[in-house]
Each structure stands twice: as C-alpha cells, then as structure tokens.
Structure 1
Amino acid sequence: MSSLSPNAFTLHGGCDCKSIRYPISIPELSARLILPHEDPTGAEVRSPEIFLEHCDKCRRVSGALLQAWLSCPQEWVEWGTTSAEKPPTFTRLNTADLTSSQPGNLPIINYASSERIIRSFCGKCGTNLLYMREHQSKENPVPMVDIVLGSLDGESLERQGVRPDRHFY
C-alpha cells in the first residue's frame, strides 16, 4: 500500500515543452475518496491510486511495455495551457473542459482510444498526459482522471509514497 503523507499536499507536472502544466491538489487523508475496492490485505484504498497498467491499449499508446498512472478525482487537477498566439496566453481549465477542447484552440490533442475513453497528449511535443472515462462506473460515480505518472515533475516524483503499489492487467 502506498505510504503517501496523510497531510494535504500538491504534486506538479506537465508536458516536456511546458505548454501544458498541472497541479494535483491532494487533500488530507480523511477527505480523500474511498475507492470501491480493497488492497490485497483487505484495507480500504483511498485516492490517489498509483499503479502500473499492462493492457494492450496502454502499451501501444505509451510505446512502453507498461504504463504508470496516478488516478484521482478530476476536481483535484487544474490544467494550464499556453496558446500558440503571439504573445502567448495562459488558460486554466478543468479536466472535462481540457478533454473536450477542439483541435487548434489549445496545445492539447484528445484521442478517443475506445468507446467512452479519452486520452490526451500535448500537440506540440507529444507527451502522453491522461486517460479519462467519459462516464463513471456505478461503483464509483465520482469523475476520475488517470494522469501519466512520468509527466510529474522530478520533485513530485521524489516525494515519499509517489510510486506504484499495484499492477492491473
């Protein structure tokens, strides 16, 4: 089980060219979402969940044998994008607005990889950023987003407990 701090903290990340940036504001432990499954010991699992994914789609999209994700409620993430205009403007968006943006408006590219599944990438540098279901499951009605763990800044990756603690196939 992940040993993230029980205190509130913020992780930061973005794409390689810095056109897309995001903070993930993780609340104190008591305010974190309880997920609808248990860990192998039977203990409750709270967001964020950090895991390795072995599915074919993730492998193909990432170009790696496995993909590392940080899954959390969408409301914890605020996206910032820099426009291609001169001078550039910085736009703040929530996850739903980011994943529904039209091509050319922002440096984000959205790809429907499966029915009701959106994956988003930076349109400038190609960094894989997120995976999102358009509709949530009955077990967990809270809108969630999976952030590519490798898109976190180095300082955030070095934080205690920011590491995968399970595998999905």
Structure 2
Amino acid sequence: MVEGGCLCGAVRYEAGGTPFHATFCHCRTCQMAAGAPLVAWVTFAAERFRWTKGSPTNFASSENVARGFCGSCGTTLTYDSSEHPDEIDIAAATLDNPAASPPGDHIWVRSRQPWMRCDDGLPEYQTRRE
C-alpha cells in the first residue's frame, strides 16, 4: 500500500497493488494542467485506489479525461481516462515516497518544450507508448 496527498494535506489517498506505467508525460495538456514542462505519473488499478481524507475537485481536460486536484492548494493529483476505466494515474510527486516509483520512459515527447533537456537514457515515444 502506498499513500500520498496534496501540498496542504486536505486531500489524501492510498493505492494498493503493484504500480505500472510509471512515465514522464510531456503532452501539452499535462503541461497546461500542472503549469510544468512535464508530469511524472504512476498508474494503479482503479479498484485498489481510494481517497482517505477529503476529496479532489475534478475537471474535464478533454472529452475522455477527468483530472483531480486539491481545491484548496491546487496540487495536481490524478488523471482518470474513461478509455481505461480500470486504471488511475497518480501524480508521482504526490506520493509520500515518490522515489519508490521512478518513471521508466517519456511519452508525448513531440510536445516537449525545446528548453527541456532529458538525457536520462529512458525510452522516448513521440505520442503514446508503442
């Protein structure tokens, strides 16, 4: 079981099971939603995820995606796609121990900002993982 939450502590969660698809996403939507050049995500089975304190505010960032964030401090928390209803992506930096789930690749690098250098040797995909 892993735990995490927002900066101010108003919203907390826990997730169980083995995480998968830990990635750096460079898509323009993630950039705009987080106000950052990329977002590190780690995916868990939706059935093993639950809010333990408070609840997020959600907004539809695209037709099939709801993004969860803390309504008090604005921390990006989750990415929930109706195309993958059995999964939930958690912003890796919001985990209590983010070092335990390091990203294994970069996705949507065609949208990477030209001033963002990534020389970590991880696989890169122009759009989604192939």
**Residue in structure 1 matched with residue 95 of structure 2 by the alignment:** 152
Kindly report the root-mean-square deviation, in angstroms, between the aligned alpha carbons of the 2 structures: 1.5
Gaps of 5+ in 2: 109-130
Match status 1:165 vs 2:108: no
Q: CA deviation at 1:81?
A: 2.6
The one-letter code sitting in structure 2 at the alignment partner of 1:116 is N
How many equivalent pairs are there? 108
The one-letter code sitting in structure 2 at the alignment partner of 1:72 is F
TM-score by length of 1: 0.59
The one-letter code sitting in structure 2 at the alignment partner of 1:12 is E
**Residue in structure 1 matched with residue 123 of structure 2 by the alignment:** none
Q: CA deviation at 1:158?
A: 3.4
> Residues 41-92 of structure 1, C-alpha deviation per residue, up to 9 Å, x if partnerless?
xxxxxx422100010000111111111000121012111233xxxxxxxxxx
The answer to whether the Cα contact below 8 Å between 2:16 and 2:44 also exists between their aligned partners in 1 is no
TM-score by length of 2: 0.76
What secondary structure sits across from 2:67 in the alignment? Answer: strand
Match status 1:70 vs 2:42: yes
Larger radius of gyration, structure 1 or 2? 1
**Residue in structure 1 matched with residue 31 of structure 2 by the alignment:** 59
Percent of aligned pairs with the same amino acid: 33
Counterpart of 1:23 (choices 14, 19, 24) is: 14
Moved over 3 A (4+): none
Matched ranges for 1:118-157 at <5 A: 118-136=66-84, 143-153=86-96, 156-157=97-98
What secondary structure sits across from 1:158 in the alignment? Answer: helix
The one-letter code sitting in structure 1 at the alignment partner of 2:67 is R
What secondary structure sits across from 1:120 in the alignment? Answer: strand
Gaps of 5+ in 1: 1-9, 28-46, 83-105, 137-141
What secondary structure sits across from 2:30 in the alignment? Answer: helix
